[in-house]
Structure 1
């Protein structure tokens, strides 16, 4: 079914993000939809997602773990596995199983103070006063884990890191098939096996340093998940996020109910997930579209053969393989333009000289006008005795067309705009006051003078409809 009308498109988007649906057909749209060949299980939050997933499993035993502690959730896997139980997350405020009389026993794993009876009361109130509620915990996550192994009665175990939820979660079906528990360790150092027979180590040497049993690992968590799935005999799949444990842990309900491998869903094309998907009879996605998009699941199932995403993916891969063009340097301006306040002319200062000069507009009280001033940057500082800034080289202003040159000034030429006729005056000091009389200072000033002569002779330009005829030059 393809939805075309806009109202139906809005309805589909609402369905996708409310997670109140299953088996929605694929839709070619900006918002990636789900397809008829996999079933999504999710809720408004991690607790509701776990409740929805637990509804797939038929059992009179419920195992509960804290919603915000993946270490306790992994340890809870031992009890869920052993007793073929339902699994649910809780924050301790509510159970989610009100009036469900099928539950006879509840295990609450870790996460709550031992003297806190509120959570026990909550479950007894939800079912009936005679229900058996068993608290399982220890002083830390490792002791809680060992307690679950003891209650479950496992002798053989697989080992996983307590730092990474992904490897332990991916191992769940393999453990279930072989009657194994999961033991958490701090993989960075040697650990005590506490008398358990270690059959598997999940993760590479960087994750778990010590060897034990058969090691199953990969280049990353996704390839480790694939390599674990290859060891199992069942062919159903539960896709979960490889980056968000909150919803992913609820997938153990689907494993119990549907004998499904839990497979971390990569964010890009992986041909091995496609191969596993082809042999899967039933496929599930556990978690909402924000953490596990329909696009990612579709890529995992079909790869580039996907009707909706394939062409775009091929183009994306082709673009990735194309050599990237070398970034071209941005063209740099050759001049810094400084306009005279009159709007009739400007100075074009070559950028290469701006590290040597100070160019600014300043008010001249003698002529009652604003001029463009050029200073030698090396010498530019205020001299309180002379009440001037040192290092002045040239000052440009407009004067009346009848004015003639005097000492310390030069009329460069005539500028016209409409009926207005002026001269561009170049004014220069007859001496160059400086607090620094060293040879180096004099050399800098001489070099800067030559630069300003270049600007005077070449870089006075008429603007805004003016015309300028230069008549005088410095030689």
Structure 2
């Protein structure tokens, strides 16, 4: 009887150890993967997002000015389309080149959001030769936004202030999951809505929109407002982009229409909030380079939650050619700050006119300021490019 008890206890111990070790391996096998999608500029980044998010429709918006561009979020959600940014250019070659980029991605239909001051008529002329093209424009940013809402045809609204971009950028996951339309408004004014429209969410505090319509979602700053949206939609996946500018987060919002996801706005420094919000996700996609979402933030997420990094189709260093290549195979030239495990978080590398790393110019231990620019080396001296 005693022997049986001993055997039983040993069996329980072995079983427990087996479950523990199995659990460890399961956790490692099932851990989220992190990938980064970026390019040499905001325009190529939006095209690279389209390479990861297949759709036969493109929503074309300005990559320089945010008001009309933000209105595209509702269209992207309805049509599961990519939002693609264009340069403010009147160059015919640039227009044709952009049209070719869309053709290469098997786009069939294009909707341009905004007037000529947002997206040059030359783009429209070039696109009309290859695609079905529609332009949505109004007398101002608010009228354009209303016309987009009418085009979408959804009567339930999510409103955000059209004078700034952060609150609106946070809404893409909410718009997709609740099947609402994003309407930009002038938050300083008392708002009147057409009879058939109903506001479900007001995104932003009283400094953004004075009066609340429907449920107000607001935090102490843009990042906390974003957190509240994430808590409402509780997404399995996460898109991380800079909250300091609009282009990368807008490009990321395309992907919110396809998968159960939310956009998390991130600051330039090591972002404790981004690290905390990244827990228990299936997959995390970072949109933008290391000067937008720091490598140290991503390293911290990986270390804390044992997430893996997916390097496929991302930027990376080619050891054979000693070059740093983007996902479109273009070569980086100039100074580049890359995440390191040093106390300062970054190392500084110089790639010459041929795009080849000059190892004698590598600076170890570089500190970045709040804007992602290098300010100090490991001896506390200013770093000058």
- Normalising by the residue count of structure 2, what TM-score does the alignment of the two structures yield? 0.65
Q: How does 1:390-401 map to 2 (within 5 A)?
A: none
Contact 1:201 1:214 (C-alpha < 8 Å) held by counterparts: yes
Tell me how far apart the structure 1 counterparts of residues 74 and 119 of structure 2 sit (CA, whole Å).
24
Q: Secondary structure at the residue paired with 2:257? A: helix
Q: How does 1:189-204 map to 2 (within 5 A)?
A: 189-195=189-195, 196-204=197-205
The answer for the alignment partner of 2:279 in structure 1 is 278
Tell me how far apart the structure 2 counterparts of residues 212 and 248 of structure 1 sit (CA, whole Å).
25
Q: How does 1:10-49 map to 2 (within 5 A)?
A: 37-49=33-45
The answer for the alignment partner of 1:221 in structure 2 is 222
Q: Secondary structure at the residue paired with 1:64? A: strand
Tell me how far apart the structure 2 counterparts of residues 113 and 270 of structure 1 sit (CA, whole Å).
36
Tell me how far apart the structure 2 counterparts of residues 133 and 302 of structure 1 sit (CA, whole Å).
46
The answer for the alignment partner of 1:71 in structure 2 is 67
Pick aligned residue for 2:109 from 105, 109, 112: 105
The answer for the alignment partner of 1:163 in structure 2 is 163
Tell me how far apart the structure 2 counterparts of residues 225 and 46 of structure 1 sit (CA, whole Å).
22
Gaps of 5+ in 1: 1-35, 314-475
- Deviation of 1:255 after TM superposition, in Å, equals 1.8
- Deviation of 1:271 after TM superposition, in Å, equals 5.6
Q: Secondary structure at the residue paired with 1:139? A: coil
The answer for the alignment partner of 1:51 in structure 2 is 47
Q: Structure 1 residues 56 and 139, CA, compared in 2 at 3 Å: closer, same or farther?
A: same
The answer for the alignment partner of 1:90 in structure 2 is 86
- Deviation of 1:242 after TM superposition, in Å, equals 1.1
Q: How does 1:331-410 map to 2 (within 5 A)?
A: none
Tell me how far apart the structure 1 counterparts of residues 169 and 123 of structure 2 sit (CA, whole Å).
26
The answer for the alignment partner of 1:439 in structure 2 is none
Q: How does 1:137-216 map to 2 (within 5 A)?
A: 137-195=137-195, 196-216=197-217
Q: Secondary structure at the residue paired with 1:243? A: coil
Tell me how far apart the structure 2 counterparts of residues 208 and 42 of structure 1 sit (CA, whole Å).
33
- Deviation of 1:71 after TM superposition, in Å, equals 1.0
Tell me how far apart the structure 2 counterparts of residues 56 and 115 of structure 1 sit (CA, whole Å).
24
- Deviation of 1:245 after TM superposition, in Å, equals 1.4
Tell me how far apart the structure 2 counterparts of residues 246 and 117 of structure 1 sit (CA, whole Å).
21
Tell me how far apart the structure 2 counterparts of residues 46 and 290 of structure 1 sit (CA, whole Å).
12
- Aligned residues: CA RMSD: 2.9
Offset from partner CA, 1:88-118 (integer Å, 9 cap, x none): 0112533252533732211000041699642
Tell me how far apart the structure 1 counterparts of residues 266 and 120 of structure 2 sit (CA, whole Å).
38
89-98 vs 175-184, which deviates more? Answer: 89-98
Tell me how far apart the structure 1 counterparts of residues 231 and 64 of structure 2 sit (CA, whole Å).
30
- Deviation of 1:239 after TM superposition, in Å, equals 0.8
The answer for the alignment partner of 1:124 in structure 2 is 128
Contact 1:65 1:90 (C-alpha < 8 Å) held by counterparts: yes
Q: Structure 1 residues 299 and 219, CA, compared in 2 at 3 Å: closer, same or farther?
A: farther
Contact 2:86 2:119 (C-alpha < 8 Å) held by counterparts: no
The answer for the alignment partner of 2:359 in structure 1 is none
Contact 1:265 1:296 (C-alpha < 8 Å) held by counterparts: no
Tell me how far apart the structure 1 counterparts of residues 185 and 103 of structure 2 sit (CA, whole Å).
39
Tell me the number of residue pairs that the alignment of Structure 1 and Structure 2 aligns. Answer: 274
Tell me how far apart the structure 1 counterparts of residues 285 and 276 of structure 2 sit (CA, whole Å).
16
Tell me how far apart the structure 2 counterparts of residues 159 and 310 of structure 1 sit (CA, whole Å).
43
Tell me how far apart the structure 2 counterparts of residues 173 and 58 of structure 1 sit (CA, whole Å).
18
- Normalising by the residue count of structure 1, what TM-score does the alignment of the two structures yield? 0.53
Q: Structure 1 residues 286 and 64, CA, compared in 2 at 3 Å: closer, same or farther?
A: same
Q: Secondary structure at the residue paired with 2:233? A: coil
Q: Structure 1 residues 163 and 298, CA, compared in 2 at 3 Å: closer, same or farther?
A: farther
Q: Structure 1 residues 297 and 193, CA, compared in 2 at 3 Å: closer, same or farther?
A: farther
- Deviation of 1:275 after TM superposition, in Å, equals 3.9
107-116 vs 133-142, which deviates more? Answer: 107-116
Tell me how far apart the structure 1 counterparts of residues 105 and 240 of structure 2 sit (CA, whole Å).
31
Offset from partner CA, 1:47-105 (integer Å, 9 cap, x none): 11110111222222111001112111111111111111121011253325253373221
Q: Secondary structure at the residue paired with 2:106? A: coil
- Asked which structure has the greater RCO (Cα within 8 Å, sep 6+), the reply is 2
Q: How does 1:226-305 map to 2 (within 5 A)?
A: 226-267=227-268, 273-299=274-300
228-237 vs 99-108, which deviates more? Answer: 99-108
Offset from partner CA, 1:168-192 (integer Å, 9 cap, x none): 1111111111110011111122222
Offset from partner CA, 1:199-228 (integer Å, 9 cap, x none): 001111111101111111111111111111
Tell me how far apart the structure 1 counterparts of residues 119 and 76 of structure 2 sit (CA, whole Å).
24
- Deviation of 1:235 after TM superposition, in Å, equals 1.3
